[in-house]
Structure 1
Amino acid sequence: MNFQNRKQLIVRTVEERGSADVSELAELLQTSEMTVRRDLVQLAASGLIYRTRGGAMKVSLATDKHTFANKTAVHAERKDYICQLAAQDIQEGDVIFMDCGSTVFRLCQFIRNKRITVVTNSLPIVAELMTSDVSVNLVGGEVDKERQAVHGLMAEEHMARYRANRAFIGVDGLSLEHGLSANSEKEASTAIAMARQTEKVYLLCDSSKLETNKYLYFAPLSLFDVLITDKEANPDVIATYRQAGITLIN
């Protein structure tokens, strides 16, 4: 496949998905990761995509001030499907942790009428649930304006004071070989802090993140109890995860 054809396919894929990793694009184009990286450099120089660590992002998502709102819109149908499945396990009276992930945020619409308590570091989740039947406990600490979330030592100490029945966390990358990975130490530390204080951890992960590796490896697969993904996941990958002993719902 020549560069022009690869260019069209890369740009279309990034536009549709919001972002894509080098490994994903290499598999899609049936070419080497080195070729993909070279193509991404040229496309970024032309302003057609935004280059990220390990891949590319849709330009509007990289430059728009409302980054979190845009992230929640990427793969929205997949995220809603995942959250519908997750909501089925939440019982009346539960105390649950919800991190600041864009997938986890979409769980709000399915729990609004449940009499539960949510402990979260996400400002959008607090805003979304303020007019619902849910009791909300906002984690205290420093506010990350871009991420619209509370992070830091004080936030971790706050979470350590509570026990939850369930925790719902997101992840930037997941692989059998390396476990959980993230684009930020802040989000990684929040996920670990929540997992320590809960009876059961649910990892909400859309299929585009399966078998991908991000900047920071922060936890083994044992951090979570249940993986919930969507119907678009590769059947071979799903089978491999289940063979590895992972409890998976899709």
Structure 2
Amino acid sequence: MLTFERYEIILQLLEEKKVAKLAALVEATGASESTIRRDLTILENEQKLKRIHGGASLKKRKVEEPSMTEKVQYFAEEKREIGKKAANFIKSGDSIYIDAGTSTQAILPYIETKEIVIVTNGFNIIEEAIKRNFKTYVIGGYVKSGTHAFVGKGAVETIQQFRFDKAFIGTNGIDLDFGYSTPDPEEAQIKQLAIEQSNEAFVLADPSKFGEVSFAKFARLEQASIITSAITSADENAEYLERLAKETTVEVVNNDLHRND
């Protein structure tokens, strides 16, 4: 197969799936892993894709947002690990805010105590929390069809009535200069309020979020700790995590990197 034919197959697969693992690209092209890795580097340099842990993703527009159905399919193993780590920070008696999203949903199966209060703007979080018999409050507003998040004036007014011991927030982008960001300004406002009204805040991020910038900023990096997957430290994103640890005061929780004092 000619080089340009591999490129076409890689880009076509990404158009269909948005994210493709290395194994899937190898199978689709019949090329070796080393060849595909070189192809991905070239295509990334040409601004046609973004390399991520174990594969590649289509470059995202600033206001583009994956649906809940799409999010569930991406980085399932990493999200389970992130959820387990996040749950370790939750103690009996805590009042916690859990943001809408699939990374944040992954926390719930690993929470060991039932003596907590959960506040959320996520339809998926509500269902999971009720199933597990957690005391749960829901902020108002309207529900977005894509992310199943409650946003708008009602959500803002309701969340302002609460204060939290800890907040667990999802993100679409983490950038050294721009901070944490998400495509929708209305969701960004809810995330910002949750962080400001918490004693501690944690942003949960799978490997695809590093180096990304979305449309609406919701916090500076130092306003929250980052919980990510230890798997990330073994791939191309390790260098980015090292920069986060060295160039900022943010704490990165992935078993290897710690706060830069």
| TM-score, length basis structure 1 | 0.79
Q: Which residue of 1 aligns with 2:226?
A: 227
Contact in 2 for aligned 1:26/1:32 (Cα 8 Å)? no
Task: Tell me the SS of whatever aligns to 1:140.
Answer: coil
Pick one of 243, 246, 250 that aligns with 1:246. Answer: 250
Q: Residue type of the partner of 2:153?
A: L
Alignment of 1:156-235 (within 5 A): 156-224=156-224, 226-233=225-232, 234-235=237-238
Map Cα deviations across residues 49-70 of structure 1 (whole Å, 9 max, x no partner): 988526999xxxx7xxxx4133
- Could you tell me how far 1:2 is from its partner in structure 2? 3.7
Aligned-partner Cα distance in 2 for 1:197–1:165? 9
Q: 2:52 aligns to what? A: none
Counterpart position of 2:6: 5
Instruction: Name the aligned partner's letter for residue 9 of structure 2.
Output: Q
**Are the structure 2 counterparts of residues 186 and 102 from structure 1 closer, same or farther at C-alpha, using a change threshold of 3 Å?**
farther
Matches within 5 A, 1:53-68: 53=61, 67-68=67-68
1:44 alignment partner in structure 2: none
RMSD over aligned Cα atoms: 3.1
Structure 1 residue matching 2:131: 3-state secondary structure = coil
Quote how far apart the aligned CAs of 1:26 are: 10
Closer/same/farther in 2, CA of residues 3 and 36 from structure 1, 3 Å limit = farther
Q: How many residues align?
A: 226
Structure 1 residues 78 and 55: alpha-carbon distance in aligned structure 2, compared to 1, 3 A threshold: farther
Shift of 1:122: 0.8
Identity over aligned pairs, percent: 24
Q: Structure 1 11/79 Cα, relative in aligned 2: closer, same or farther at 3 Å?
A: farther
* Contact 1:113 1:132 survives alignment (8 Å): no
CA distance, structure 2, for counterparts of residue 228 and residue 134 of structure 1: 23
Q: Indicate the SS of the match to 2:201.
A: strand
Q: CA, structure 1 residues 144+110, in 2 after alignment: closer, same or farther (shift >3 Å)?
A: same
Q: How far apart, in 2, do the equivalents of 1:77 and 1:127 lie?
A: 21
1:113 is displaced (CA, Å) by: 4.9
Give the conservation status (yes or no) of the 8 Å contact 2:48–2:59.
no
Q: Does residue 82 in structure 1 map to residue 82 in structure 2?
A: yes
Structure-2 separation of matches of 1:199 and 1:85: 18
TM, length-normalised to structure 2? 0.76
| Cα deviations by residue, 1:88-133 (Å, 9 ceiling, x for unpaired) | 0100110000111221112122127532111001111111111323
**Would you say 1:109 and 2:109 are equivalent positions?**
yes
Structural mapping, 1:84-99, within 5 Å = 84-99=84-99
Structure 1 unaligned spans of 5+: 38-48
Q: Distance in 2 between matches of 1:55 and 1:149?
A: 16
